[in-house]
Copies of this chain bind each other. A is one copy, B any other.
Amino acid sequence: MKKFEKKNRNKLRRIPGRGSYKQKVVHEILDQGFVAHVGFSIDSQPYVIPMAYGRKGNTLYLHGAASSRLINSLKQGIPVCVTVTHLDGIVLARSAFHHSMNYRSVVVFGGAIVVTPEHKERALEIISEHILKDRWQVARKPNPKELKATTVLKINIEEASAKVRTGPPVDEKEDYNMSVWAGVIPVEQVYGTPIPDPQLDPGLLPGVEVRQIYQ
């Protein structure tokens, strides 16, 4: 199984037993998220911005307005850290100290480069497909003006690691006989019923690309 090399940046120091460098694990966690927290630094000042993204192999794609400060900073090729986190549960232990969270997270390190005009539409399709599979075929494709207004960045995943906590709390031996409920409150992200655009013809129903996510 392919793994990311363990280097100074991505080496898991705290509770390394929860960590993984396997590409398969990293990819799966990335593929299940909608929002990445993208970190970069300008003159030692860190910024963390939530962004949509897409993945293909070991490449992440981000997009934004060509005029934005964020995109213009990132496209200089400065180091980027992209983190995706899924919260799965609140872990209630008998002791305050052992309270925890169940989660799956990935931290990616790399540098961004601008996707060239000839690959831009394909890169946007990857982001779109990541958010909602098959939607790209249904929506109107970007026209030249829209393509020009959008910059797409490509981040080669140079290093990455995943961290996962699952299961019940782990308490101190002497606390197990306390009369305190302990366990996990699961936390889940779910889809609500689709809300049609008020301007939509009421006869138009959600397409198969929308209906599939409820199955």
Chain B residues, Cβ within 8 Å of A93: 139
Q: Are A83 and B175 in contact (CB under 8 A)?
A: no
Q: Are B187 and A189 in contact (CB under 8 A)?
A: yes
Chain B residues, Cβ within 8 Å of A215: none
Interface check A77, CB cutoff 8 A: no
Interface string of A174-215 (1 = CB under 8 A from B): 011011111111111111111111111000111100100100
Question: Knowing A37-B37, A140-B175 touch, does A181 contact B206 (C-beta < 8 A)?
Answer: yes
Interface check A119, CB cutoff 8 A: no
Q: Are A195 and B181 in contact (CB under 8 A)?
A: no
Interface check A114, CB cutoff 8 A: no
Contact of A13 among B69, B97, B132 (CB under 8 A): B69
Q: Are A37 and B85 in contact (CB under 8 A)?
A: yes
> Which of A20-28, A43-51, A54-62 is the interface stretch?
A43-51
Q: A41-B44, A182-B197 are in contact. List 7 more A-B contacts (CB 8 A).
A: A48-B48, A90-B131, A94-B139, A95-B139, A184-B195, A185-B210, A186-B193
